[in-house]
Chain A
């Protein structure tokens, strides 16, 4: 118990001695800090950062198609306009076709969700022009609601 107290006392003495030593050195530490803040010049040893140099691998007239793709990629990192143009070109289906397909698509999916009565009405409208003979028994009976069709002999 008493030993710990003694240790703390010796520690305090050591700390005081250290502080005395450091306080003399503190004066020296202040001056270098001021000098370090003045440098706003960056030293650079490569020409790459200074000049606008193109990528070193090149291929012409389709000699090496992979390298030609690379050329476009690397050189367009500086100019991003080409990337936007490429996105517009890549659409496989043209806008007009999309509009046409969409119109028919809406119709077919719309039929799926009609109620039963509406579905029958749709079917009769479609087949009215084609079906004059009255092949099945059910159809004349359905049409009886609208009009009476005589079966042909």
Chain B
């Protein structure tokens, strides 16, 4: 194929051809110059530049926070990388806080770095995630399924009751609903979604909405 071709995760360029490095389904997107990638399933996250992830603050080292993102190394986050942060106006981040941010540097040679601000200087939803709520881990394939436009699972869940959801590409999901019971119900559904078929899921949701 002529023109610029995008080869995504799971594929590597070697010489004039492509090598497959992961097992899975090969996907193709004809729009925007054509793109091929391998849709594989895994639980372990590898930091990638531009990905939005949820990190847990493990340490404060001077001006930089160390975040655990589920990768091989803790990521670093500077205190100036928040919206409206200056040397005097520091963000109120404690050890154990949850932070939603994106990677700015993420390759195998260097320690990953994160920021909570996008290229235009606005936070656009990134930063410290509020109090309460429940954080749990799922596989990366499920996250991508949930983030697909018009995801059925999310649409069905949104009919049940009001809740808030933050999905990180590192497999971590944070849920918050009005009561603890509701939160736990949502967590159980999301965890079980991986192995349930669509029918089983609808049955389970019908039981819940009946109750």
Task: Give residues in A with beta carbon < 8 Å to B.
Answer: 38-64, 67, 70, 73-74
Contacts and interface: CB of A to CB of B under 8 A. Distances in A.
B29 A50 contact: yes
A74 B125 CA distance: 10
Contacts of B18: 41
Given A41-B5, A41-B18, A46-B9, A60 B158 contact: yes
A39 B149 CA distance: 32
A32 B50 CA distance: 32
A45 B52 CA distance: 14
A57 B52 CA distance: 10
Most buried by B among A44, A55, A73: A44
A42 B163 contact: no
Contacts of A41: 4-7, 13, 18
A39 B13 CA distance: 9
Chain B residues touching A, range: 35 or more
Interface stretch (B165-173, B189-197, B199-207): B165-173
B37 A47 contact: yes
B130 to A, nearest CB: 9
Identify which of A41, A42, A64, A73 gathers the most chain B CB atoms within 10 Å of its CB: A41
A136 to B, nearest CB: 67
B48 interface: yes
11 contacts: A40-B2, A45-B8, A46-B9, A46-B50, A52-B149, A53-B147, A56-B100, A58-B164, A60-B165, A63-B164, A63-B177
A51 B144 contact: yes
B179 to A, nearest CB: 12
Contacts, number: 118
Contact of B165 (A38, A45, A58): A58
Given A61-B158, A62-B162, A63-B178, 5 more contacts: A41-B13, A50-B29, A50-B37, A56-B147, A57-B167
Contacts of A52: 148-149
Nearest to A78: B149
A53 B148 contact: yes
A43 B29 CA distance: 15
Contacts of A42: 4-7
Interface of B: 2-9, 11-13, 16, 18, 27, 29, 35, 37, 48-52, 100, 124-125, 144, 147-149, 151, 154, 157-158, 161-169, 176-178
Contact of A50 (B35, B147, B163): B35
A54 B37 CA distance: 18
A50 B125 contact: no
Contacts of A55: 52, 125
Contacts of A62: 162
In order of increasing CB-CB distance, the 6 nearest A-B pairs are A61-B162, A60-B158, A63-B162, A50-B8, A46-B48, A53-B147
B5 to A, nearest CB: 5
A47 B166 contact: no
Contacts of A40: 2-5
A92 B50 CA distance: 40
A60 B163 contact: yes
Name, among B11, B29, B37, B158, the residue most crowded by chain A CB atoms within 10 Å (CB to CB).
B37
A134 B49 CA distance: 88
Contacts of B154: 58
Given A44-B6, A46-B48, A53 B144 contact: yes
